[in-house]
Amino acid sequence: MNRHMDKPIKLTEVCLRDGSHAVAHQFTENQVRDVVRGLDGAGVHYIEVSHGDGLGGSTVQYGKSLINEMKLIEAAVDECKNSKVAVLLIPGIGTMNELKQAHELGAQLVRVATHATEADVSAQHIHKARELGMEALGFLMMSHSVSVTTLIEQAKLMESYGAEAVYVTDSAGALLPNEVRERIKALRQSLQIEVGFHAHNNLSLAVANTITAIEEGATRIDGSVRCLGAGAGNTQTEVLAAVLDRMGIDIGIDLYKLMDVAEDIVGPLIPGSQEIRKGSLVLGYAGVYSSFLLHAERAGKRFNVDPRDILVELGKLKAVGGQEDMILDVAAELAKNDKVRA
């Protein structure tokens, strides 16, 4: 095992951010309070709270939130005794104003997320977060879609802007364990800062991939209780905690309490089971952004085309987060072609 022991493993729980996609951004304040209270009691290090697409994501294009995310952030901060509240910001969706507001409400960490080739758009947001005294981490989305060389170049940019860690973000749940190993190892060797990993479970590899990342020296990891997240969800936190315990790696989280939060608090919030079904499987297979699934299913109904065909086409087009408007265009084009063939 090639773990760097100078830094402890820190887990960010994403069920209230990535999980927002799975509930169509309809979390209530009481639900957020209940979940945060449970996670805080279990000793989770960071709890990420924002719209699924990050700060400022509550729009017609990405899906309107039931409750203003700032109110949810404030509620989360109010419930935390030990955990720190984190937020996600995608430049172009979230702005400096939202970042400042989240900080004023008590958020202590921000992950600035860009496509794996667009790290340069994160500079001002990382600078501003550091200036405000927040932890600022870089999040390279769709990391499966670029070469290892490109990933290193982009991660080094984020490091130069002041990021304290950079994540290999498997937004599509498309990476295989050997690909995770290669990417984490390369970043560990090329950066002076911490390396993180964020997985999706679309190919049923999230826990295995996260363990592989830890073996290669990743010290920032993500999980989601009950797998609540976009697509087939993320690395299931309580399962990961149990596996790490079996491996003799203590990350300071109470496994039984985590299991109880997953079963008793988060479980009842999930609209359907977070299993790998045909839609989420195609996300991993085609390498498509996990939050596209609900949009593709809606577009499939509207244009009477198979959502799988929409997702495969989006994979070929290398569509990235923020290009949700392409989903309707692709569906319309597929419907038109079906009519021509008929």
Q: Given pLDDT bands bounded at 50, 70 and 90, which one contains residue 338?
A: confident
- Cα–Cα distance for residue pair 179/174, rounded to 1 Å: 10
Is this model's pTM higher than 0.85 or not? yes
Answer yes or no: are the C-beta atoms of 230 and 202 closer than 8 Å. no
Measured CA to CA, the distance from residue 73 to residue 29 in angstroms comes to 9
319 pLDDT above the threshold of 90? no
**Residue 178 above 80 pLDDT?**
yes
| pLDDT of res. 258 | 98
The larger pLDDT score, comparing residue 5 to residue 43, is at 43
Q: Residue 341 — pLDDT band, cuts 50, 70, 90? A: low
Calpha distance 341→178 (Å, rounded):
41
Return binding residues for substrate. Answer: 17-18, 171, 198, 289
Q: Is the pLDDT of residue 137 over 50?
A: yes
Q: Where are the chain's structural domains?
A: 10-269, 291-341
Q: Is the pLDDT of residue 3 over 50?
A: no
**Helix (H) or strand (E) run with residue 48 in it:** strand 46-48
| pLDDT tens-digit map of 255-293 | 999 999 999 999 999 987 788 999 999 999 999 988 888
Binding-site residue numbers for Mn(2+) are 18, 198, 200
Give the pLDDT of residue 1: 44
CA nearest neighbour of 40 among 95, 91, 99, 80: 80
**For residue 289, what pLDDT is reported?**
87
Per mean pLDDT, which range of 133-137, 185-189, 272-276 is the poorest? 272-276
What is residue 342's predicted lDDT score, i.e. its pLDDT?
Answer: 54
Lowest mean pLDDT among 227-241, 251-265, 283-297: 283-297
Architecture of the domain whose range is 10-269: Alpha-Beta Barrel (3.20)
Indicate the annotated binding residues: 17-18, 171, 198, 200, 289
Over pLDDT 70: what percentage of the chain? 97
- pLDDT exceeds cutoff 80 at 251: yes
By annotation, the residues acting in catalysis are: 21
pLDDT in tens, 109-131: 999 999 999 999 999 999 999 99
- What percent of the chain has a predicted confidence (pLDDT) above 90? 88
Select the CATH number that applies to the domain covering 291-341 from these four: 1.10.10.10, 1.10.8.60, 3.30.1950.10, 1.20.1280.290.
Answer: 1.10.8.60
Do residues 10 and 218 lie in contact, with contact meaning Cβ atoms separated by under 8 Å?
A: no
